[in-house]
Amino acid sequence: MAKHKISVTVNGTAREAEVESRLLLVHLLREVFRMTGTHVGCDTSHCGACTVILDGSPVKSCTVLAVQADGSKITTVEGLEQGGKLHPVQEGFTEKHGLQCGFCTPGMMLSSVALLERNKNPSEQEIREALAGNLCRCTGYVNIVKAVQYAAEKMR
Amino acid sequence: MTIAKTDAKICGMGHSMKRKEDPRFIRGQGRYVDDIVLPGMLYMDIVRSPYAHAKIKKIDTAAALKIPGVLAVIDGPTLAKYNLHWMPTISSDTQMVLPTDEVMYQAQEVCAVIATERYIAADGADAVEVEYEPLPPLVDPFKSIAPGAPVLRKDKKDQKDNVAFHWEAGDRADTDKALKGADVVVSEDIYLPRIHVASMETCGCIADFDAAQGKLTVYMTTQAPHAIRTVFALVAGHVGLSEERIRIISPDIGGGFGGKVPVYPGYVIAVAASVVIGKPVKWIEDRMENLQADSFARDYHMKVELGAKKDGTMTALRIKTIADHGYSNASANPSKFPAGLFSICTGSYDLKHAFCEVDAVYTNKPPGGVAYRCSFRVTEAVHAIERITDSLAQKLGMDPATLRMKNFIKPEQFPYKSVLGWEYDSGNYQGALKKAMDIIGYDALRKEQAEKRKKGELMGIGISSFTEIVGAGPSKDFDILGIKMFDSAEIRVHPTGKAIARFGTKSQGQGHETTYAQIVAQELGIPASDVQVEEGDTDTAPYGLGTYASRSTPTSGAACAMAARKIRDKARKIAAHLLEVKEEDLEWEPGKFTVKGAPQKSKTIQECAFAAYTNHPQGMEAGMEATHYYDPPNLTFPFGSYICVVDIDRGTGVVKVRRFVAVDDCGNIINPMIVDGQIHGGLNQGLAPALYEEISYDDEGNITGGSFIDYYVPTSLESPNWETDKTTTPSPHHPFGAKGVGESATVGAPPAIANAVVDALSHLGVTHLDIPITPEKVWRALKAKGAAA
């Protein structure tokens, strides 16, 4: 199978790789770069466990080919903490018990970060709409909403 | 039993301590099975049957083996050489690992491809050509149980029909008589459909056989690592894998809900592959494999009859059930309880006559009855009694809350012996329902409903006052494959006063690293932040049956307190030695022994620990550690009352949950924040089957809900803003008065929602709707009554 040389910037670091055309972005991150914070929870783009921020927009990295990401900037869960300081969304999730098993958490947090970057003061309904592409089986979403509200407050 | 509250520094029971496991999860540094990579590791992908029932004519692997990187294809005949093609289930039935002859359900494992890379293993699986001869499938359990139906389990010599087992409880003749004599009898056919846990992480493992040492290490998604080790030894002991050579490591688990209790064929194939090839083999199922082949729950067809006097006093309950177990009974029920704890079906009511029976049936579906945040059939029992109670209220024209209040077991009747044989430990059912009614404003809602009905609007209020039964269980009655259902804790206090505690259970998100540390903190006064909790490694943790059926706090939690108390007893001896007083002259408060009447003379637990290694009394064994295997004297019986308000769109049939108030009672609480989290999640897994989720099959046995496209897991948009509250009725027999809580909400919520929908339609003459109550079902009911908009 044909290989392609690609360059991406992951959490501020320039990375290069030679990949098959069919390699999914999530597998580039997890298996080539060994950044395993981004998870795989389904095969149909429904669960959102693999959500990363690609050039400013949250995307499901199981539905993006690595070659499509060539030249782009990617933020993963590993890039949220800056200089030893947690992102307010990370803080919110732990303060408000917005996670249990932790599997959906990275994707859920990245969708939340993307929401707060475009809407500083979301209503509960806006939060629920922004997270509707991320499934959680543990929390019933109540505390996830509170976690995002906590982060929004902190970021204002 | 009230529990003294420790100060925030110690953070014992009752504190909403932030979770100790969160720092790694919020940084993406959890360590789930698929995150682990071993040197030389290979990947496995599985070829699955497209047919529900077929003879395998030929498996052609030539094309697959030509793909560079594909190393082997393992099929049934390969495993048969080692007698590994069949395995026992946890319920003492048998199940194929890989078929040699026939496939019995769609998506059944047919063979497995081993390759150097994940994508190549998938290419290999695509390239395997399997020739099938389709056979007629038995999909409907009623057809399967009918006389003359072809026998599915031809592998079982004595099997003459498709009945997996018959089980019953109670006095049939006495109940028949009581029902005949009742003033009024209500009857409903109630189906609880097949559903799937759909934990966000699917199942998988890495099997790593070290030929030089003859040792097998398996990293796997399991809720019960010790039990799995024993099962592996039973399955593979004859090929040299004896139990001391097997190590099961259960790393971080991305949700379990019971779906990670059984041994699935994929695990065993990966182990066989690693043993044969001599390299680590990783198998991670994808979501469609997960939804189509693993861990199904419910599938109970119940005929429920309830008799009562004219004044509403319930007199007799009879339930007859056909249970669809698929092609094997692979559920994880205790051996004396093949239908789990279904005989809790008299629920919260003082019923004097009851009988229930279950006929479990084989069909051409994957093994069912396995798991969905309660696999012990309590959900089925609660749905039956809570639904039929509303039918009785409707028939008598009584308010469902009044009817419940009238029939509840009264607080002074506890401990209460139920007619079907359980001894309920403690309860205050009136208190919980009253609290829920006050919070939601029940009377005002009934008025609003009456007003809305006048305007033709559909609004319903549903109640569920459930009794749970958890914490299996006392060894005189409870075992799995003969292993008694105790559980364990081992605590070691280090010289500097910090501790490590290990358990036979395994958290999958429940927060054990935090709650168990808080139990140690409560009992010893060592700050919870100084207690490291470890689970899931069979080489280091004491033996236990694992985490499912809401049993961790009732069993391992209790063991933790008992082990800590052994340590405290030793610390007291050391403190007496250090202070040169008698033991009985010392007073204990969490963290400190003080000489009675001389408050300036004291020794902290940390000082006692240091002395245990540096200055222990002559004749005393050095060190400070203890192990306890806790055999619970009884189960615990958490309970609650839930009230749900729904609004229904007459045009579309869409049900909207407007409010949902959950008042739970799980006795004394270790961490209120975590308990609320458990309730929230449980409520969502009650909402899901009530309104959205179902795994269904067509007549050919094709699964019609086998991906997240069709299997409707609720998102943040469908999920209401759950309102929770508590009452506290401690368990009298648990060391710190706690009861299990993980599954209460999943058990209690579905009938509250179903009752609310039926209540909204009751004035039209609707008495029952089966869950999931989809818009289509509601619309059809409205249409049938001439009431659709």
| Predicted local distance difference test score (pLDDT) of residue B177 | 98
Residue B225 backbone dihedrals phi, psi, to 5 degrees: -60, -40
Distance from CA of A40 to the nearest CA of B (A): 8
Per CB-CB distance under 8 Å, the chain B contacts of A132 are 715-717
* ipTM surpasses 0.85: yes
Query: Is A42 an interface residue toward B (CB < 8 Å)?
Result: yes
- Contact at CB, A141 and B508, closer than 8 angstroms: no
Are A68 and A99 contained in the same domain?
Answer: no
Q: With CA atoms as reference, report the closest residue to B118 among B291, B281, B326, B249.
A: B281
- Strand order through the sheet with B625-630: B531-535, B499-503, B487-493, B625-630
pLDDT at residue B771 above 90?
yes
pLDDT higher than 80, residue A1: no
Instruction: Give yes or no: residues A69 and A135 share one domain.
Output: no
β strands within B211-313, DSSP E: 215-220, 246-249, 281-284, 296-297, 300-308
What structural domains does chain B harbor? 22-30+487-630 (3.30.365.10), 427-470+635-789 (3.30.365.10)
| Residue B369: predicted pLDDT | 84
Specify the pairing of strand B94-96 against strand B163-170. Answer: unpaired
Res B450 pLDDT > 90: yes
CA distance B286 to chain A (A): 6
Structure tokens at B166: 């018959």
Go through A85-98 and write b for each residue having 16 or more CB atoms within 10 A of its CB, e for each that does not.
Answer: ebbbbbbbbbbbbb
Output the CA–CA distances (angstroms, integers) from residue B352 to B308, B339, B377, B512, B704, in the order listed. 11, 22, 22, 40, 43
Per-residue pLDDT, B3? 87
Number of structural domains (chain A) is: 2
A57 and A117 belong to one structural domain = no
Measured between beta carbons, the chain A residues lying within 8 angstroms of B199 are 101, 103, 137
User: Are both A56 and A95 inside the same structural domain?
Assistant: no
Instruction: Give the pLDDT mean for B443-459.
Output: 98
Question: Residues B248-283: pLDDT tens digits?
Answer: 999 999 999 999 999 999 999 999 999 999 999 999
Q: Is B776 designated active site? A: no
Torsion sign (Cα): B667, B671, B673, B677: negative
Q: What is the pLDDT of residues B511-562, one digit of tens each?
A: 999 999 999 999 999 999 999 999 999 999 999 999 999 999 999 999 999 9
| CB-closest option in A36, A142, A145 to B35 | A36
Tokens at B91, concatenated: 């319920």
Give backbone dihedrals phi and psi of B99, rounded to 5 degrees, phi first. Answer: -80, 150
Beta strands B458-467 and A57-60 are: unpaired
- Residue A126, min C-alpha distance to chain B (Å): 10
pLDDT-derived band of residue B239, with 50, 70 and 90 as boundaries?
Answer: confident
Query: Is A92 in the same domain as A151?
Result: yes
Q: Which helix (H) or strand (E) holds B161?
A: none
**B560 in helix, strand or coil?**
helix
Give the end of a domain, one of A58, A79, A100: A79
Closest CA to B85 of B114, B106, B111: B111
β strands within B577-674, DSSP E: 586-589, 592-595, 598-604, 625-630, 639-648, 655-665
A92 and A70 belong to one structural domain: no
To the query of whether residue B568 is one of the catalytic residues in this protein, the response is no
Residues A71 and A97 in one domain: no
Average pLDDT over every residue of B758-776: 98
* Nearest C-alpha neighbor of A107 from the set A59, A62, A48: A48
Q: Tell me, letter by letter, the H, E, C secondary structure of A75-137.
A: ECHHHCCECCECCHHHHHHHHCCCCCCCCCHHHHHHHHHHHHHHCCCCCHHHHHHHCCCCCCC
Does B680 contact A142 at a Cβ distance shorter than 8 Å? Answer: yes
pLDDT at position B789 is 82
pTM given for the model: 0.97
Taking the C-alpha atoms of residue B525 and residue B708, their distance in angstroms, rounded to an integer, is 47
The residue from A79, A99, A134 where one domain ends is: A79
CATH of the domain at A48: 3.10.20.30
Which run of H or E residues covers position B749? helix B744-761
Residue A135's domain is classified under what CATH number?
1.10.150.120
* pLDDT per position as a tens digit, B676-701: 999 999 999 999 999 999 999 999 99
In this structure, are A7 and A75 located in the same domain? yes
Which of these, B473, B490, B628, B503, lies nearest to B250 by C-alpha position?
Answer: B503
Contact B721 A94 (CB under 8 A): no
As a whole-number percent, the residues of chain B with pLDDT over 90 amount to 96
CA B517 to chain centre: 23
Q: Are B663 and B773 in contact (CB under 8 A)?
A: no
| Backbone region of residue B187 per phi and psi (left: phi > 0; alpha: psi in -120 to 50; beta: other values) | beta
Strands (E), B547-638: 586-589, 592-595, 598-604, 625-630
Alpha-carbon torsion, ordered B597, B600, B601, B606, to 10 deg: 130
Catalytic residue, chosen from B111, B374, B560, B644, is B374
B34: which chain A residues are within 8 Å (Cβ-Cβ)? Answer: 30, 36, 39-40
Which residues of chain B does A47 touch, with a Cβ-Cβ cutoff of 8 Å? Answer: 200, 287, 708
Q: Which domain holds residue A38?
A: 3-79
Going edge to edge, which strands form the sheet with B592-595?
A: B586-589, B592-595, B598-604
Query: Taking CB atoms and an 8 Å limit, are B716 and A145 in contact across chains?
Result: yes
What percent of chain A is predicted at pLDDT more than 90?
98
Which positions in chain B touch A35 (Cβ < 8 Å)? 28
Q: Please say if the pLDDT value at position B323 is more than 90.
A: yes
Sheet holding A57-60, edge to edge: A13-20, A3-10, A73-75, A51-54, A57-60
> Averaged over B583-608, what is the pLDDT?
97
From the list B138, B130, B123, the residue with the least C-alpha distance to B64 is B123
| Same-domain check for residues A66 and A119 | no
From A15's Cα to the closest Cα of chain B, the distance in A is: 19
Per-residue pLDDT at A139: 98
Confidence of residue B375 (pLDDT cuts 50, 70, 90): confident
The structure tokens 């550690």 sit at B625
pLDDT at residue A97 is higher than 80: yes
Catalytically annotated residue among B229, B373, B404, B659:
B373
Q: What is the pLDDT of residue B546?
A: 95
Which tokens in the block code for residue B528? 């919870």
Measured CA to CA, the distance from residue B396 to residue B48 in angstroms comes to 53
Report pLDDT for B788.
Answer: 85
Spatial distance between the Cα atoms of B520 and B37, rounded to a whole number of angstroms: 34
> Which stretches of B397-474 are DSSP H helices?
400-407, 429-440, 442-454
A44 and A19: one domain? yes
Burial B85-101 (b: 16+ CB within 10 A, else e): bbbebbbebebbbbbee
Torsion angle, CA of A61/A64/A69/A74, rounded to 10 degrees? -20
Report, as an integer, the average pLDDT of B213-242: 92
> Which of A44, A79, A114 is at the close of a domain?
A79
Whether the per-residue pLDDT at B385 is higher than 90: the answer is: yes
Contacts of B400 (CB under 8 A, 6+ apart): B389, B390, B393, B463, B755, B759
**Does B744 or B705 have the greater pLDDT score?**
B744
Q: In which residue are the tokens 């993006």 written?
A: A64
Long-range contacts of A7-14 (CB under 8 A, 24+ apart): A7/A70, A7/A71, A8/A69, A8/A70, A8/A71, A8/A72, A8/A73, A8/A74, A9/A72, A9/A73, A9/A74, A10/A35, A10/A74, A10/A75, A10/A76, A10/A79, A11/A74, A11/A75, A11/A76, A11/A78, A11/A79, A12/A79
CA B590 to each of CA B38, B106, B558, B594: distance values in angstroms, whole numbers, following the listed order: 44, 57, 17, 11
Terminal CA-to-CA distance of chain B, rounded, Å?
A: 55
- Reported as a single tens digit per residue, the pLDDT across B389-427 is 999 999 999 999 999 999 999 999 999 999 999 999 999
Distance, CA of B554 to CA of B549 (rounded, Å): 10
Q: What is the pLDDT of residues B105-120, one digit of tens each?
A: 999 999 999 999 999 9
For B104-147, where are the E strands, in sequence order? 109-115, 129-134
CA distances from A39 to B27, B30, B279 (A): 13, 10, 25
- Is A93 found in the same domain as A75? no
The answer for A 73-102 residues in CB contact with B (under 8 A) is: 76-78, 80-81, 86, 90, 93-95, 97, 99-102
* CB within 8 Å of A27: residues ≥ 6 apart: A66, B118
Instruction: Specify whether B373 is catalytic.
Output: yes
A62 and A98 fall within a common domain: no
The pairing of strands B281-284 and B42-48 is: parallel
pLDDT band at B13 (very low <50, low <70, confident <90, very high): very high
| Mean pLDDT, rounded, of chain B | 97
